[in-house]
Every structure is written in C-alpha cells, then in structure tokens.
C-alpha cells in the first residue's frame, strides 16, 4: 500500500507542484526522496536553495515521513542535524496529509518560525536572528 500511495503522490506532485518546491525519488528508491525548497521571498532565506531529505516508512501513510534539511539552516525549529520541529511530522500527522502539504508546511515554517516550540531555544530567544524577531519573541 505504501508504494502505491508514494507513486500517486509523486504523480500529483509532478502535475501540480507546490510553489517554490520540487521533490522526487533518489535513484530508483521510491522510499527515499530529495526535495528542493527555494527560500521564501518574504523571509531571511530569500534567494537560498535548501535540500531536504524525505524518507517514507514502510507503513506510510499511517506513519509520517522522516523529513530533514540537508542544507544547514539557522532557524529555531531546525537543529544542526537538519531535524525539523513541526507538529504534522509528529503527533499531528494524519494519513490525509501528503508530501506536497508537508513541503508547504516546511516553507511556511521558514517564513513564520514558531519560537514558542523551538528545537533550538538559543536561536528562538535571540533578538537578531530574524528581522522581525521583536514581534515574534516576547
């Protein structure tokens, strides 16, 4: 079932890719993808190109994919290993979600970080890491 779902999502992604994102399998391994995310223009990541690894578990879509940045990112919700603190990749995962929706959520996180649930608290509490951090960090 996982493979059938992954193939369907790949076709959907190729037909209607999310803005500023692309993704697909690495070699012939349908369970291991690489995504490319263009830094959102309304963020400090504008102009950046970010590589993201996506690993689907054998019981996908009942378990979330493992998603991690391969490109180093200075962000309160992404640690130095590339792990992403995003609820839909953990306890809020639903089989109704797709890779496309995950990529959109990751892009949204680049634009709107969540300093209230940081993976890297030191960054979340810095006043200079993000131009509008005064509005984000209390």
* 125: region left, alpha or beta (phi > 0 left; psi from -120 to 50 alpha): alpha
Catalytic residue, from 21, 37, 73, 85: name it: 85
CB 115 within 8 A of CB 101: no
| Tokens representing residue 78 in the block | 């992404």
Residue 85 annotated in active site: yes
Q: What would the two tokens of residue 127 be?
A: 């006043």
Residue 12 and residue 98 in contact, taking contact as beta carbons nearer than 8 Å: yes
Number of H helices, E strands in the chain: 4, 4
**CB within 8 A of 45, min separation 6: which ones?**
39, 73, 110
Q: Measured between alpha carbons, how far is 105 from 111 in angstroms, rounded to an integer?
A: 10
Just list the catalytic residues.
85
């Amino acid at each position: 079932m996982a493979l059938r779902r992954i193939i369907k999502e790949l076709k959907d992604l190729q037909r209607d890719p999310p803005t500023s994102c692309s993704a697909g399998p690495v070699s012939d391994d349908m369970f291991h993808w690489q995504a490319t995310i263009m830094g959102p223009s309304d963020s400090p990541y504008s102009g950046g190109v970010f590589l993201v690894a996506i690993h689907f578990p054998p019981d996908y879509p009942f378990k979330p994919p493992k998603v991690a940045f391969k490109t180093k990112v200075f962000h309160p919700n992404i640690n130095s290993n590339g792990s992403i603190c995003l609820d839909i990749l953990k306890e809020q995962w639903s089989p109704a979600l797709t890779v496309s929706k995950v990529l959109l959520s990751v892009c949204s996180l680049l634009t709107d970080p969540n300093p209230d649930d940081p993976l890297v608290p030191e960054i979340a509490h810095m006043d200079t890491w993000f131009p509008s951090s005064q509005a984000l960090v209390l």
